[in-house]
Structures are given as C-alpha cells and as structure tokens.
C-alpha cells in the first residue's frame, strides 16, 4: 500500500489509520456498554487510550526524526573554503538526542523482553480499576494500552517522517535562499576572483556550489561560464538548477558571448526544458530558462574559418 504521496499521507493510508482508530474505539464502547458503570468504564478507557497513544506517539517521534546528511563544509568546518561563504549548518542536537534515546530504549527493551508477559499482566492489574474493574478488566486494559501505544507509535513515526523532514528542508532552503540573495548583492564588493569561484564550483557540498553560482550571478565571467553550462546539464536539485539558470541568464545579459558559447548554452537549456520533471510547467526554473532562450538566437551560425 502506498503510504505517502507528495509529502502527505496517501488517502488509503489515512483511511487505514482511521479504520484502526475506529476499531479500537468501537471495542472500547462495546466493553463499556457491557460493564456495570458504562460511563466510568468509557471515560477511563478513553484516558488509557489517549495516554497510551501519546506515549507511542512520542516514541514514534524519536524514531522518525530525520537524519541530517552532512559532507564537505559540515564535516570539516575548519576548512577555509567552507567558511569563506558562511555556509549554513543546522543544529543537530535534537537528532543526536533522538539517536541516543532510541538506542537506550532498544537496548533496555531487548534485555527485558523475557519479562514482557509479567510486565503486561502487572500493567493490566494496575489499569483494571480505571476501566471499571470486573471480570476480564485486567486483560482488556492491557490490550487497550498495547493497541493504542502501537497505533500512536505508527502515527507519530509517519507524521514525523513526512511533516518534520519537509518542514526542516523548507527552512534550510529558505535560509540558503536568503544567503544566496545576499551573496548576489555583494558579489562585486566581495571581489572573488574567477579562480576562487571555480574552486567553490568544484566543491562536493551543494551549499558551496550554490554560493559559487550566486557569485557568478553578481559578477559573471567567461572563464566560469562552461561550469555554469555544465551545471545546467547535470542532475541537480531543483534549487541548484534554478541558481544555475539564473547565473546563465546574467551571463547572457552582461557578457558578450561568442557564437560557440551561445550555442552551448542554448542546447543545454533546451535539453533541460524538455524534461517537465526537472522544469515543471509554470515553475520559476522554466520561466528563467525560457527567458534565456528568448535572448539567444534560434540558429547560431558556425564560426567561419579565417581566410589564409
């Protein structure tokens, strides 16, 4: 079954979770209706269910926290090339705490797995008065707690995996976008040489490559134009591709391009715009790409050989 679609729970997954919650609540309602004091049993059962779901949801949150992928500048902050552009690195304390707690819980759980039946019986005995007592109350209370704990864990894990990862990525992209905008505005003031921009282009970290593209936007040069064209041809993230296209647009507007440069750039942009997955309709990537093509002639003449 498909669990997610476009960063959200798939309709089938939502329906499945709703059915599981409904089945648990229906079982609680039927049990309460058969007890002597149905209101107390129902109220107590709802409290047990909600508490168990909160505990399970918290565990699911810890297991679902996304891991930050780091390389280059993040792995070696003392590197001068990593600090020259003030690259952004998110705080990972929550991720580290999640990792530690997950290992502790798993380790403690595995060492105590032999006592699980006895622990469940003790849990049922402790919760039996909450659900009205009576015959079978202990087994029902333990089952109710386990049922909603597992349900809470799955729900917490899914929501954290889908929503938190997306929110963190959006925040990181916005931070990087702000940094790129500032770099573009200050490109001439920063006075990076083409060779220094090239070194950033060749970095293994996307953040540094994006900063290099931002420097090129503010101060385009012929020396690094082939790198921009190569970046457009490469398999890039949507954000990095947009920055490469913006850099190419500035090159078209500010540099006197040779026929060969125009031809190479046009072919690279046309090839990228043919793929609607990398440049969807109405996306800014497609708009910028079409602006570049409008500035370039449809047919670029081949250079004529010099007469002897």
Which of 152, 182, 212 terminates a domain? The answer is: 182
pLDDT at residue 46, rounded to an integer: 94
Q: Are 52 and 155 in contact (CB under 8 A)?
A: no
Phi, psi for residue 235 in degrees, rounded to 5 = -90, 95
Q: In this structure, are 23 and 167 located in the same domain?
A: yes
Q: In this structure, are 215 and 233 located in the same domain?
A: yes
Q: In this structure, are 26 and 141 located in the same domain?
A: yes
Q: In this structure, are 164 and 225 located in the same domain?
A: no
What range does the domain containing 192 cover?
187-295
Q: In this structure, are 159 and 123 located in the same domain?
A: yes
Q: Are 232 and 98 in contact (CB under 8 A)?
A: no
Which of 182, 208, 233 terminates a domain? The answer is: 182
pLDDT at residue 176, rounded to an integer: 63
Q: Reduced to 3 states, what is the DSSP secondary structure of residue 5?
A: strand
pLDDT at residue 254, rounded to an integer: 92
Q: In this structure, are 172 and 192 located in the same domain?
A: no
Total of domains in the chain: 2
pLDDT at residue 307, rounded to an integer: 52
Residue 61 lies in a domain: yes
Q: What angle do CA 214, 253, 226 make, to 5 degrees?
A: 60
Rounded (to 5) percent helix, strand, coil in the chain: 70, 0, 25
Which of 182, 207, 228 terminates a domain? The answer is: 182
Residue 307 lies in a domain: no
Q: In this structure, are 32 and 88 located in the same domain?
A: yes
> How confident is the model over 91-120, as pLDDT tens digits?
455 567 767 777 787 777 777 777 778 888
Q: In this structure, are 22 and 166 located in the same domain?
A: yes
Q: In this structure, are 139 and 265 located in the same domain?
A: no
Q: In this structure, are 164 and 214 located in the same domain?
A: no
Which residues are CB-neighbours of 114 under 8 A, at least 6 positions away?
none
Residue 242 lies in a domain: yes
Distance CA 157, CA 183 (A): 38
Neighbours of 11 (CB within 10 A): 10
Q: What are the pLDDT tens digits along the chain (308 aa)?
A: 556 655 566 777 788 888 999 999 999 999 888 887 889 889 999 999 999 999 999 988 888 877 655 444 333 333 333 333 333 344 455 567 767 777 787 777 777 777 778 888 898 889 888 888 878 889 999 999 999 999 999 898 888 888 877 777 666 666 666 667 676 667 667 778 888 888 888 887 877 888 888 888 888 999 999 999 999 998 888 888 999 999 999 999 999 999 999 999 999 999 999 988 888 888 989 999 999 999 987 754 444 454 55
Q: Which residues of 164-200 are buried (b: 16+ CB within 10 A; e: fewer)?
A: eeeebeeebeeebeebbeebbeebeeeebebeebbeb
Q: In this structure, are 221 and 203 located in the same domain?
A: yes
Q: In this structure, are 92 and 39 located in the same domain?
A: yes
Q: What is the Cα 126 distance to its own chain's centre?
A: 42
């Amino acid at each position: 079954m498909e669990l997610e679609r476009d960063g959200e729970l798939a309709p089938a997954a939502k329906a499945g979770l709703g059915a599981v919650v409904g089945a648990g609540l229906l079982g609680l309602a039927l049990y309460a209706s058969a007890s002597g004091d149905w209101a107390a049993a129902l109220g107590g059962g709802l409290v047990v269910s909600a508490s168990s779901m909160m505990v399970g949801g918290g565990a699911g949150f810890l297991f679902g926290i996304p891991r930050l992928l780091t390389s280059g500048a993040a792995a070696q902050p003392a590197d001068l090339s990593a600090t020259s552009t003030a690259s952004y690195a998110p705080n990972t304390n929550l991720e580290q705490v999640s990792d530690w707690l997950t290992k502790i819980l798993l380790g403690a759980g595995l060492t105590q797995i032999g006592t699980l039946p006895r622990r469940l019986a003790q849990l049922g005995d402790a919760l039996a008065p909450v659900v009205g007592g009576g015959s079978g109350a202990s087994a029902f209370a333990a089952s109710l707690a386990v049922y909603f704990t597992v349900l809470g864990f799955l729900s917490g894990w899914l929501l954290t995996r889908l929503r938190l990862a997306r929110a963190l990525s959006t925040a990181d992209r916005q931070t990087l976008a702000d940094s790129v905008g500032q770099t573009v505005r200050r490109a001439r003031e920063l006075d990076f040489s083409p060779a220094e921009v090239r070194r950033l282009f060749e970095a293994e970290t996307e953040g540094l490559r994006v900063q290099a593209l931002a420097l090129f936007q503010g101060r385009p040069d012929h020396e690094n134009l082939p790198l921009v064209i190569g970046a457009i041809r490469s398999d890039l993230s949507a954000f990095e591709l947009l920055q490469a296209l913006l850099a190419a647009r500035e090159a078209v507007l500010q540099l006197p391009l040779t026929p060969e440069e125009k031809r190479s750039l046009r072919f690279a942009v046309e090839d990228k715009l043919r793929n609607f997955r990398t440049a969807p309709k109405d996306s800014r990537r497609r708009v910028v790409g079409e602006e570049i093509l409008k500035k370039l002639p449809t047919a670029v003449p081949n250079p004529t050989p010099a007469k002897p």
